[in-house]
Amino acid sequence: MHHKISNLDITKVTPRENNFWNALDYHITEVFKPDFLHFYPVRHNYYQLALCVSGNIRTRINGENIQYDANTFAVFTPSTILEVIEVSEDYSCQMVIFKKSFLIETLNNIYFLERFQMLNSTGLDYVKLDDAEVATLTSLFKGIQDKAQETNHPFRRDIIRNLIIILLYETENMLSKNRIKFSRIANRIGNKRILSEFQELLRRHFYKERKVSFYAQHLAISTNHLTKVLQELTGRSAKKHINEIVLSQAKSLLNSGTYNVSEIASLLYFDNIEEFSRFFKKETGTSPLKYKKKNLETSP
């Protein structure tokens, strides 16, 4: 059993091509089923834009089971925990991988990626694209890959950087259309539907997202309105709901005896063990270490 989640560095994805291109902070490739050599959970240390071309792949992303089919576009950010469950024989996927340092190398703006909603905490995990959108992305992927093959081009690195930026803008435009559609639907739903949608979002994202604004934005309502609806229907605020599910998962992991406090803090996406300990003590009145020790002592 893997208690520690391994980090998947960009150089480990396709080392042959990276060495050929002499590039350690970006990569463009097409992946097929034989490329999956291990299926245990790994954590990315890079950004990844992936378009499923054919077949399907079943994965577990940050604890959520997701299947990607043909024409499905997915966005993965650093710290995403990916576990491959099953891959079809005809699976293929086009992907662009890059590190933040590569993209902002000449921009003099360390916050450049923050302008893209799909790359921050409110981004979409995946979306089904229509044929025209797939054709646009396929063309952009090919342009980047063709340029990457020109190993003697003196400005290849700069051109690829700009082509990836164009890809980001085009992709953000496509995904924004889906958000607008979702927003129009969300504005018509009643309070009970808001509660149901919130609970589903919370179940999917509580590991990583603990800000009320994240859930409100996905529901296309204000944070005040979300809290008001939840308070009326459940008697508890949105923040209380979030804290309760995080605390419940923390207690479950502590009681299991499988993980230490530091590992649990990492699994629940706290920045460090101190932040997790403060949260746990505020919610329970005791430290996670004392809670774990007490429960292990009283266990039969």
Whole-number Å distance between alpha carbons of 228 and 143: 49
Question: What is the pLDDT at residue 164?
Answer: 95
- Quick: pLDDT tens for 84-108: 888 898 999 999 999 888 988 888 7
Global pTM reads 0.58
List, for residues 60-75, the tens digit of each pLDDT value: 776 667 888 999 998 8
CA 113 to chain centre: 15
Domain boundaries, given as residue ranges, for the chain:
6-184, 189-300
CA angle 104, 179, 271 (to 5 degrees): 50
User: What is the chain's mean pLDDT, rounded?
Assistant: 81
Q: Are 35 and 71 in contact (CB under 8 A)?
A: no
CATH topology of domain 189-300: Arc Repressor Mutant, subunit A (1.10.10)
Structure-model confidence comparison of residues 54 and 122, the more confident one: 54
Fold designation for 6-184: Jelly Rolls (2.60.120)
> Facing residues of 54 across strands?
92
Give the list of residues 6+ apart from residue 23 with CB closer than 8 angstroms, or none. Answer: 148, 157
CB 76 within 8 A of CB 45: no
pLDDT for the residue numbered 144: 93
Q: Could you give the CA distance from residue 175 to residue 166 in angstroms, rounded to a whole number?
A: 14
Neighbours of 48 (CB within 10 A): 19
> Residues, the chain, total?
300
Report the distance separating Cα 227 and Cα 198, nearest Å: 11
Triad 68, 122, 124: Cα angle to 5°: 15
pLDDT surpasses 80 at 14: no
What residues contact 196, with CB distance under 8 A and at least 6 apart? none
pLDDT of residue 93: 92
Query: Taking residues 246-275, what's their average pLDDT?
Result: 88
The overall longest dimension of the chain from CA atoms, in Å, is 69
Secondary structure (DSSP) of the chain = ---SPEEE-GGGTSHHHHHHHT-SSEEEEEEEGGG----S-EEESSEEEEEEEESEEEEEETTEEEEEETTEEEEE-TT-EEEEEEE-TT-EEEEEEE-HHHHTTTTS-TTGGGG-GGGSTT--SEEE--HHHHHHHHHHHHHHHHHHT-TT-TTHHHHHHHHHHHHHHHHHHHHHHHHHHHHHHHTT--HHHHHHHHHHHHHHHTTT---HHHHHHHTTS-HHHHHHHHHHHHSS-HHHHHHHHHHHHHHHHHHHSSS-HHHHHHHTT-SSHHHHHHHHHHHHSS-HHHHHHHHHHH--
CA distances from 52 to 39, 98, 128, 138 (A): 18, 18, 10, 10
What is the per-residue pLDDT across 139-185, written as a single tens digit (0 to 9) for each?
A: 999 999 899 888 889 999 999 999 999 999 999 888 877 665 544 44
- pLDDT tens digit string along 103-136? 888 887 887 887 887 886 444 567 888 899 999 9
In the predicted model, is pLDDT for residue 17 greater than 70?
A: no
Half-sphere exposure of residue 57: CA atoms within 13 angstroms, side-chain side: 26
